[in-house]
Amino acid sequence: MLVSLVHAMLKVAGSLVLTVTILVLLVAILLWGMAVEAKCGATVAKFGIYGSWWFNALGLILGINSAAAIVLRWPWKLQHLGFIIPHLGLIVLLIGCFVSRHYGIEATLAVFEGESSDLAYKGSSQHAELDGQQHFSLRVIPSDGSEKTGEPIVVPFTSGPFNWDDYRKATLEFFVWSLAHRDQGVLYDRDGVRLEVLDYFSNSEIVPAADQSGFSVRALPFDKSDSPPHLRQAFVRLTVDDRSEEFWMPCSSPDRLESLSLAIPKKLLRKSVTGKGRRVNLSFAPESFHIGYTIFLRKAWRKLDPGTRQPSFYGSEIDLVPNEYATPSSFPKYDNLLVTLNAPLDFADPAFSGRSYRMFQSTMNGPYNPEEVGLKLGESAYLSGFTLNYDPGRGLTYVGCLLICAGIVVAYFVKLKNP
C-alpha cells in the first residue's frame, strides 16, 4: 500500500505534463523579467521576480520534478543515460543557483589615487536596498557617558527599490511588487529599546528650511540608474524606555565622495534618544566588512572616445597588502597588479578562509580637486570603484551546464546506437 502510494506520488511529481508546464511558465517569466529589467533596471527585476519566494518555489518544483523523473526510471539501463544525465545536470544547476543566491557576495570598494582601503560595502547604490544589505546600528550608552562594552546592536533592513509612497498611491504598474518581501513596522524590540520603520524613500533629497533652522525631506521619482547616487532615507520611530521620537534617517557610508555628492549634513547621520539612565545612538548605513588585503591604488587612468567625454577604457594599478584582518598573517604582498574593464583580478581573502574574490574595475570618477575630498595630494586625483564578487555556487552551475550539454550528446549517440 505504502509502496503504491509513493509510486503514485512520484508519477505525479515527475510527470511530463508538469515539466512542460513549469518550462512554459519559466520562459514566460524570463521574458517578462527581461522587459522589466530593460524598463526599471536589474534591481527591480531581482526584487519582484528573481529574488521572490514564488520564483524560488518554482525552481524547487522543477528540481523535484527532475529528481522524481530520474527515480521513476529505476532500474537504470544504458539507454537511460541520455535522459538521466541532463536531468541530473538541471538539479546540480538549480543547487548552484541556490548557493549563489543565498551565500554569494557582491560588494563595492572605492579608493582614491595614492590612498588605500580594505572596507567593502555590500551591493551598489541601489543593490544595497535588497537582501538586508543595509542595516541600522543601535549603541547603548549609560548616562555617565561611558559607552557600554560590546558590539553595537545591528538590525538588518530590507527595503526594496521603491519609495513606499508608490505602494500606497498605486503608482506601480505591476501588482507583484507588493508580494515581494520588505521589512516594515517593528524591526527590533528588546530590553526597553524598540525600533520601527514607518516610511522609506529609495530616492530623495534633503532641503534646508527657509529659516535655516532645520531640514526637510522630499521624495524624488524612481530612477533605475546609479548615477548620481541615490539618497535613501527611512522614517523611523525609536523608543527608549518610556520616550519615543520620530525622525528621518539618511543611509550613508562614511565615503567621502558619497557624502560630497549627496550633501548629507553630519548631524543627520546619527540620532539619539535618551531614556532612563541611558542614551541610544542610531545610525543607518549599508552593510560593510573588512577584507584581509588593504588595496593601495598607485595609479588610475582612463581614455575617452575621440571628440567626446565618454570613457572608452579605464584601469587601475594596485598593491595588495595583508592587514590586521588576515589570518594567518603569512599571506604574501602583491605589487603593481593591473585591473581593467576586461581583465578582472582573482585573489583569496586572508580574512575569510576559503573565500576568494573576482575583482572587477567597475567605475572611474574624477578627476577631483584634492581639497574637496580631503586628500593631501598636490594635484587632481581619480577615484577607482571596484566590484568584489564571491560566488560559491559558480562551480556547481558550470558542472550543471556541462552535464546538460553532455546529456544531450549522449542521448543523440545512444539513440543512433539503439534505434
The predicted pLDDT at position 296 comes to 94
Predicted confidence (pLDDT) at residue 3 exceeds the cutoff of 90: no
Predicted confidence (pLDDT) at residue 309 exceeds the cutoff of 90: no
The predicted pLDDT at position 42 comes to 82
131 Ramachandran zone, left/alpha/beta (phi>0; psi -120 to 50): left
Kind plus residue range of the DSSP H or E element containing 114: none
Q: Which residues pair with 358 in a beta bridge?
A: 346, 389
- E strands within 124-252? 134-142, 153-157, 185-190, 193-208, 215-219, 231-240, 243-251
C-alpha cell at 348: 583569496
pLDDT higher at 138 or 263: 138
CA atoms within 13 A on the CB side of 418: 9
Contact predicate 273/282, CB 8 Å: yes
Q: Which residues pair with 142 in a beta bridge?
A: 278
| pLDDT bracket for residue 175 (50, 70, 90) | low
- The packing angle between helices 81-103 and 53-72, to 10°, is 150
The predicted pLDDT at position 95 comes to 95
pLDDT tens digit sequence for 251-276 = 876 555 554 555 677 777 888 999 88
Select the CATH number that applies to the domain covering 107-120+289-390 from these four: 2.60.40, 2.60.98, 2.60.120, 2.30.110: 2.60.98
Spatial distance between the Cα atoms of 275 and 280, rounded to a whole number of angstroms: 8
CA-nearest of 187, 92, 190 to 399 is 92
Give Cα 147 distance to the centre of its chain.
32
Q: Give the sign of the dihedral formed by CA 197, CA 200, CA 206, CA 211.
A: negative
CA atoms within 13 A on the CB side of 145: 0
pTM score of the predicted model: 0.80
pLDDT higher at 165 or 195: 195
Of 33-42, 178-187, 388-397, highest mean pLDDT: 388-397
Spatial distance between the Cα atoms of 110 and 388, rounded to a whole number of angstroms: 11
Place of cell 533592513: 157
| pLDDT bracket for residue 238 (50, 70, 90) | very high
Of 236-245, 285-294, 367-376, highest mean pLDDT: 236-245
Cβ neighbours for 334, distance < 8 A, ≥ 6 positions apart: 319, 320, 347
Kind plus residue range of the DSSP H or E element containing 332: none
Cβ neighbours for 177, distance < 8 A, ≥ 6 positions apart: 44, 47, 48, 160, 162, 167
Place of cell 508538469: 18
Determine the 3-state secondary structure of 2 from DSSP: helix
Kind plus residue range of the DSSP H or E element containing 163: none
Predicted confidence (pLDDT) at residue 417 exceeds the cutoff of 60: no
Predicted confidence (pLDDT) at residue 128 exceeds the cutoff of 80: no
Question: What are the DSSP calls for 281-326, one per residue?
Answer: EEEEEE-EEEEEEEEEEEEEEEEE-TTSS-EEEEEEEEEEEE-TT-
Contact predicate 320/359, CB 8 Å: no
The predicted pLDDT at position 170 comes to 65
The predicted pLDDT at position 38 comes to 87
pLDDT tens digit sequence for 30-56 = 999 898 888 888 888 888 888 888 899
The predicted pLDDT at position 359 comes to 92
The predicted pLDDT at position 281 comes to 92
Q: Where are the domains of the chain?
A: 2-103+395-417, 107-120+289-390, 134-286
| pLDDT bracket for residue 327 (50, 70, 90) | confident
Spatial distance between the Cα atoms of 256 and 111, rounded to a whole number of angstroms: 10
Contact predicate 63/12, CB 8 Å: no
Q: Which residues pair with 303 in a beta bridge?
A: 313
The predicted pLDDT at position 374 comes to 57
Mean pLDDT of 179-191: 90
Q: What are phi and psi of 260, to 5 degrees?
A: -70, -45
Overall size of the chain counted in residues? 419
pLDDT tens digit sequence for 13-30 = 888 889 899 999 999 999
The predicted pLDDT at position 253 comes to 64
Place of cell 521572490: 52
Determine if the peptide bond prior to 75 is cis (ω within 30°).
Answer: yes
* Mean model confidence pLDDT for the chain: 83
The predicted pLDDT at position 375 comes to 60
pLDDT higher at 1 or 133: 133
C-alpha cell at 136: 541600522
Mean pLDDT of 318-342: 86
pLDDT tens digit sequence for 44-98 = 888 888 888 889 999 999 999 999 999 988 888 888 888 899 999 999 999 999 9
| pLDDT bracket for residue 373 (50, 70, 90) | low
Mean pLDDT of 146-150: 58
